[in-house]
Amino acid sequence: MNKLGIIGAGVMGTDLAHITAEAGFHIRIFDINHKKAVIALETIALRLEEYIKKERISADEKDKILGNISIVENLSDIADSDIFLEAANEDLSVKKEIFKNLDTISGGGSVLASITSSISITEIAAATTRPESVIGLHFLNPARVMKLVEIVPGFCTTRETIEMAKSFLKKLKKDFIEAKDYPGFYLNRILYPMINEAAFLLYEGGAKPEVIDKAMRKGLNIPMGPLEIADMVGLDVILNIGEEMFRGYADFKYRPCPLLRKYVASGYLGKKTGRGFYIY
């Protein structure tokens, strides 16, 4: 299993292409916006140049990694992939449409993996005729740095598919846990309420962002505060997670903070746009 098809060339898709190519897999990247796929490859190339300057890799290693990556213009061009990694927007309808198309073009023995951070794998798998091959792999952002991956089987996912996913993650030198297919899985079920409550504290004028984050960093001895994490992940992603958890649990405690909604509506999405809870 060495052929990977990555669908979605955003921040996560770019990082996935990087780390899987580094591990020796042959990668093809597809994005409905072809320019994003081109930018993803350019981003990886620039990053590797920085690694050479820091003597983390050699020029030959850079060429080998880049040689493992190509970009394609049609989804059908990745049809013979052994593993499909869907890293599109955190939107159930978008993901179901992608998996419906992957079901049409993919081979029977391939694994269809969603990199969703909160959406039900069972619901995504329902768009296919082989839900036993669908699995969730929740990589944390930035994927090239964070060690943990949540493996999320759907209701019909077979043990064989789970073991194939584990073998894949071991080749990436990632640690992993198996999580139940609950909205938000394990990590975001804990992390999202903390971020959302920090946003409410800011919204209510309780404290400035730097004070809130300092309280959490110093008080709990964690490397980043909740608002810093939100800016790194992307406020649009955080909002989507909140909306999905609110929908899935129908519990008022998961309602997204109005300030979070306003920031996203204003285009203040965090580091990727230069402004979120902080200005960059």
Write out pLDDT tens, residues 102-131. 999 998 899 999 999 999 999 999 999 999
pLDDT at residue 1, as a whole number: 79
Among candidate residues 22, 86, 90, 150, the one labeled active-site is: 150
pLDDT-based confidence at 261, cuts 50/70/90? Answer: very high
Q: Which fold has domain 3-178?
A: Rossmann fold (3.40.50)
pLDDT above 90: residue 179: yes
Task: Identify the CA nearest to 66 among candidates 78, 54, 57.
Answer: 57
pLDDT above 90: residue 277: yes
pLDDT at residue 63, as a whole number: 97
Q: Which residues of 189-225 are buried (b: 16+ CB within 10 A; e: fewer)?
A: bebbbebbebbbbbeeeeeebeebbeebeeeeeeeeb
Contacts of 79 (CB under 8 A, 6+ apart): 5, 105, 106, 107
Question: Average pLDDT over the chain, rounded to whole?
Answer: 96
pLDDT at residue 108, as a whole number: 84
pLDDT above 90: residue 141: no
What is the token pair recorded at 166? 């584990």
Among candidate residues 117, 120, 133, 196, the one labeled active-site is: 117
197 annotated active-site:
no
Among candidate residues 133, 188, 196, 240, the one labeled active-site is: 188
The residues spanned by each domain of the chain are 3-178, 188-271
Contacts of 30 (CB under 8 A, 6+ apart): 5, 6, 7, 9, 37, 71, 72, 73, 74, 75, 77, 78
Query: pLDDT digits over 79-109, tens only?
Result: 999 999 999 988 999 999 999 999 999 988 9
pLDDT-based confidence at 60, cuts 50/70/90? Answer: very high
120 annotated active-site:
no
pLDDT-based confidence at 270, cuts 50/70/90? Answer: very high
CATH of domain 188-271: 1.10.1040.10
196 annotated active-site:
no
Report the alpha-carbon distance of residue 28 to residue 20 in Å, rounded. 11
Among candidate residues 138, 196, 228, 240, the one labeled active-site is: 138
117 annotated active-site:
yes
Q: Which of 141-145, 150-154, 228-232, 244-248 comes out lowest in average pLDDT?
A: 141-145
